[in-house]
């Protein structure tokens, strides 16, 4: 069956469902008004009930409900009508036609394609941010002397310089290794098309690359690098581990 032949049937099903919902709402509202009248022992809402029934109900049911309004059996009749509408709604929702389910599946596939189209620019942006962050980290490992000197006190000797040099190199290599682990799961395809993870990784590594460029050019102290390590390397890796657990261990889809 072609999509042009299926779409009118889907529209008919949706209109029927919407009409039943509106009828159920009108009956429930009229039932509430009648119960309020019973509590007050005075008929206040004659015109209001008639207006609500006329607006929300189909034309062929207006005369029947207005006739019930003139009788004393209105509350019980409204309850019976609401039960009938609820039964029809359950039957409509439990047994949609095969063509309707096909159209719904087609709409789900269209939403998935739209999600893929949305994740394409995030994929390229994440790759560029990872590459920029890795390049600036490699450069900072090679040219770390200024940062080592900025981290030393004024009365430091050769031993203090060598110890601080080892500390700076170890911290930068740790950040580079964490970035390598995240890149391995990214290029492995586990989080490649996850928009939330891609956006978080872009923010973390983009800001990390900018911060590392200032750290290298302005020769900042190592105190600032540890903040960079926590928010720009450890945080995206932890979320990447969460994606890995959801996909590989729990078997959930992205």
How confident is the model at residue 155, as a pLDDT? 85
pTM: 0.54
Tens of pLDDT, residue by residue over 6-34, are 455 555 666 666 666 666 666 666 666 66
Compute the mean pLDDT over every residue in the chain, rounded to the nearest whole number. 74
How confident is the model at residue 114, as a pLDDT? 46
How confident is the model at residue 27, as a pLDDT? 66
Angle, alpha carbons 220-225-230 (nearest 5°): 160
Instruction: Name which residue leads in pLDDT, 253 or 43.
Output: 253
Q: Which of 72-76, 138-142, 168-172 has the lowest mean pLDDT?
A: 72-76
How confident is the model at residue 78, as a pLDDT? 58
How confident is the model at residue 97, as a pLDDT? 47
Mean pLDDT is highest, among 50-54, 96-100, 149-153, for 149-153
**Given pLDDT bands bounded at 50, 70 and 90, which one contains residue 38?**
low
Q: Is residue 202 within 8 Å of 132, Cβ to Cβ?
A: no
Tens of pLDDT, residue by residue over 198-216, are 899 999 999 999 999 999 9
Task: Parse the chain into domains and list their residue ranges.
Answer: 3-96, 114-249
How confident is the model at residue 56, as a pLDDT? 47
pLDDT above 80 (res 251) = no
How confident is the model at residue 123, as a pLDDT? 83
pLDDT above 60 (res 88) = yes
How confident is the model at residue 32, as a pLDDT? 67
How confident is the model at residue 154, as a pLDDT? 83
Tens of pLDDT, residue by residue over 103-161, are 455 555 555 554 445 456 788 889 999 999 999 999 999 999 999 999 898 888 889 99
CA distance 137 to 173: 8
């Amino acid at each position: 069956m072609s999509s042009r032949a299926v779409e009118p049937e889907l529209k008919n099903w949706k209109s029927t469902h919407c009409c039943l919902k509106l009828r159920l709402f009108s009956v429930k509202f009229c039932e509430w008004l009648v119960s309020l009248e019973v509590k007050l022992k005075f008929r206040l809402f004659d015109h209001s009930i008639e207006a609500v029934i006329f607006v929300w109900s189909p034309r062929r049911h207006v005369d029947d409900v207005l006739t019930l309004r003139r009788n004393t059996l209105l509350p019980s009749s409204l309850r019976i009508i609401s039960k009938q509408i609820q039964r029809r709604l359950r039957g409509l929702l439990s047994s949609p036609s095969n063509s309707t389910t096909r159209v719904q599946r087609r709409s789900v596939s269209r939403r998935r394609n739209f999600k893929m189209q949305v994740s394409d620019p995030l994929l390229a942006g994440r790759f560029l941010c990872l590459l920029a962050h890795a390049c600036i980290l490699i450069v900072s490992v090679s040219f770390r002397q200024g940062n080592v000197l900025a981290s030393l006190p004024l009365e430091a000797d050769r031993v203090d310089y060598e110890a601080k040099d080892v500390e700076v190199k170890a911290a930068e290599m740790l950040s580079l290794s964490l970035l390598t682990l995240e890149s391995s799961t990214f290029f492995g395809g586990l989080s490649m098309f996850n928009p939330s993870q891609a956006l978080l990784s872009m923010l973390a590594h983009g800001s990390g690359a900018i911060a590392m460029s200032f750290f290298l050019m302005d020769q900042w102290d190592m105190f600032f690098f540890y903040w960079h390590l926590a928010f720009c390397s450890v945080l995206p890796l932890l979320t990447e581990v969460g994606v890995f657990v959801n996909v590989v261990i729990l078997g959930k889809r992205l």
